[in-house]
Structure 1
Amino acid sequence: MDQPRDAPDWLNLWGGTLRGAFTMKWLFQLVALKRDRSAKALLFACVLSMSFVAMSAHANEPAAPKSFPIGPWTLGMSRDQVRAIADQGPYVDVPVTGALETSSADFHGAKTKVSFVFDDAGLQYMQVFAYEGHDVEEAQNAAFRVYRLFADELGGATMNPDVPRDQDQVFTDDMMRVVFASLLGRARIAAGGILDEMPDARLLMHFDMAPTSQPADSRMHAQIGYESAKDTYFVLLFKDRVDAPPRRVKANVEVSKAE
């Protein structure tokens, strides 16, 4: 395997706007392109590690609330019980995942797409599409709104990548906007740099954000990112059962062969 090389200039641009707010350490490793001589596939791998401050909106962590509601639905509901809440529909079946989905869910005053995934015990988790589209500013705004929900109701937020901070350091809304502007606002530039070298690649950049305190009856988690094949930004909010496996992306940047 080839040795890791320094991050190219187009990737260094991605973190530039953050350096005035706090110190960052970028470690970029680009694994060499490999060819399968007998098959037609090309294998790509790209790992991006960032060291960046664990973010919190409040200096003192409050007691965890009992619940963090998403509309009128609760985990454990049957498919029929979810569908019976007619004023949040219409609902459609998603054959690929077996989920139900509505685009008319009332999520903090806005009509929002929500997906409901079931197992033998009922509603297993909910996925809120806080944003999905091509507008980077809308994506940044959606990420900030989810952050504010975590800050207001669940004591703050932490992110992967992480940012080491002073014990008493509290992050402001302006600093958080800089974080989201840097992660999402530079995504197309970073994607363009990789795709110039690997034209057949499909690039996925995604980052975890979780509340500082989890509700007693569930576990909340958000993922923020960009996908190059459809030039799409996304901000997703998940509500899982307390005992569900943790959600965490395997790598902040993943490169695969485009379909």
Structure 2
Amino acid sequence: MRVFFLLLIVLLPRMAASQDVFHIGPWNIGDTREKVLEATEFGPFEPVALTGGLETRHARFLDSKVTVSFVFDASDRVEYIQVWLYEGTDFAEAKKASLGLFDLFSSRFGGASVPGIEVSGAGVDGSTSLDRISLGIVLDRVLGQAPKLGEDFKRKHKVVATTVLDLIPHRNPLNAKLTAQLVHASRHDAFYVFLFLDQTTAPDRRVASNVKLEKL
């Protein structure tokens, strides 16, 4: 009985960590529109015509200034939150933001995986999880080459390519489902790094295909 009690003492902190609650600044899934707007220190908030939601370009996340978008459900409560960690043409900055999300998932949610990328062979610690170095290589070889491939598609085939890598934590917080998307869109010749917080019961946000082609 004493051994069992000691095991509980050891395991309970780990169980609590796996049931962590995750917020973006002061905001959470299920917040009312009024509660979102109460955080005036991160304003001004602008309406988003496409979704009927709100957006601020002055939020803080991972020690950086970011854009955060809020989409509301029929009861006018936050259905999902989208964090724009990077938007631009600099692959190095997009890679930095992507690795920052990987570090977050590793420190709080047990690591991360990229669907379609398999890790074979155990590392020195016996783990077969995706590590930071491996993710960096994947980013270099996929997103890093996407601008050149996108230009080739435009010139030779008259199509634009959108390349998306999903980054999924090994476990989710208690209050939300997390999905990161690392994107290059050749139509705009730009990289995007997004983090989505969805309701725990929301459909899977992962893409069906890593590359989508559309006619010009």
TM-score above 0.5: yes
Q: CA deviation at 1:224?
A: 0.6
> Whole-Å Cα distance in 2 between the matches of residues 184 and 62 of structure 1?
36
Q: Is the 8 A contact 1:203 1:228 kept in 2?
A: yes
Which residue does 1:228 correspond to in 2? 186
Which residue does 1:136 correspond to in 2? 91
Aligned with 1:238 (options 173, 177, 196): 196
User: In the TM superposition, what whole-angstrom CA distance separates every residue of 1:205-253 from its partner, at most 9, and x where no partner exists?
Assistant: 1111110111111100011110011101011000011011111112111
Q: CA deviation at 1:174?
A: 2.5
**Structure 1: segments with no counterpart, 5+ residues:** 1-59
Which residue does 2:114 correspond to in 1? 159
Structure with greater helix share of residues: 2
2:153 maps to 1:194:
yes
> Whole-Å Cα distance in 2 between the matches of residues 75 and 125 of structure 1?
6
2:106 maps to 1:106:
no
Higher relative contact order (CA 8 A, sep 6+): 1
Aligned with 1:83 (options 6, 25, 37): 37
Q: Is the 8 A contact 1:161 1:208 kept in 2?
A: no
Aligned with 2:144 (options 148, 173, 185): 185
Aligned pairs for 1:1-259 within 5 A: 64-121=18-75, 122-166=77-121, 168-199=127-158, 201-258=159-216
List structure 1 runs of 4+ shifted beyond 6 angstroms. none
What secondary structure, in the 3-state scheme, does the structure 2 residue paired with 1:184 have?
Answer: coil
User: In the TM superposition, what whole-angstrom CA distance separates every residue of 1:83-113 from its partner, at most 9, and x where no partner exists?
Assistant: 1110111100011111100000011221100
> Whole-Å Cα distance in 2 between the matches of residues 155 and 175 of structure 1?
16
How much is the aligned-residue C-alpha RMSD, in angstroms? Answer: 1.9
Q: What is the identity, as a one-letter code, of the residue corresponding to 1:157?
A: A
User: In the TM superposition, what whole-angstrom CA distance separates every residue of 1:190-218 from its partner, at most 9, and x where no partner exists?
Assistant: 2123223212x121111111101111111
Q: Is the 8 A contact 1:78 1:123 kept in 2?
A: yes
**Structure 2: segments with no counterpart, 5+ residues:** 1-13
Q: What is the identity, as a one-letter code, of the residue corresponding to 2:183?
A: G
Are the structure 2 counterparts of residues 171 and 66 from structure 1 closer, same or farther at C-alpha, using a change threshold of 3 Å?
A: closer
> Whole-Å Cα distance in 1 between the matches of residues 15 and 146 of structure 2?
32
More displaced stretch, 174-183 vs 128-137:
174-183
More displaced stretch, 62-71 vs 210-219:
62-71
Q: Is the 8 A contact 1:220 1:238 kept in 2?
A: yes
Percentage identity across aligned positions?
Answer: 32
What secondary structure, in the 3-state scheme, does the structure 1 residue paired with 2:205 have?
Answer: coil
User: In the TM superposition, what whole-angstrom CA distance separates every residue of 1:2-54 from its partner, at most 9, and x where no partner exists?
Assistant: xxxxxxxxxxxxxxxxxxxxxxxxxxxxxxxxxxxxxxxxxxxxxxxxxxxxx
Which residue does 2:8 correspond to in 1? none
Q: CA deviation at 1:170?
A: 4.8
Structure with greater strand share of residues: 1
